[in-house]
A = this chain, B = another copy of it.
């Protein structure tokens, strides 16, 4: 498939895919005789993984690091584990932070839900900020 099809299938743009290739997230694509990039359908899965990693707050460099582990079949398991443990710890921290912020905002929102001037004064609304 060509780059436009792949981009549509993966929910992104040709520009971005060329950028991913240049960044090492995608292997250099095969080329047709005329120089067009030619992708196997399973490229969609790889791009999806990139998207999932991004949606979860990983940088492209971190996602690339994980993908490199897959691509290099010889990667030592210990290194793999360490890297993944690092990511896990990072993600757990991030979840904890988000949960704390969620609670803060939920309390704030609870106060804002009562349009009584006594309970909805700026001081009341914002005592959590």
Stretch in contact with the other chain, from A7-15, A16-24, A27-35, A107-115 = A107-115
Within 8 A of B (CB), among A88-110: 88, 91-92, 94-95, 97-102, 104-106, 108-109
A-B contact pairs, 30 of them (CB 8 A): A52-B97, A53-B101, A55-B101, A56-B98, A56-B101, A57-B57, A57-B98, A70-B122, A70-B125, A70-B129, A77-B114, A77-B120, A77-B125, A80-B109, A80-B112, A80-B125, A81-B112, A81-B113, A84-B105, A84-B108, A84-B109, A85-B109, A87-B105, A88-B109, A91-B98, A91-B105, A92-B102, A95-B95, A95-B98, A95-B102
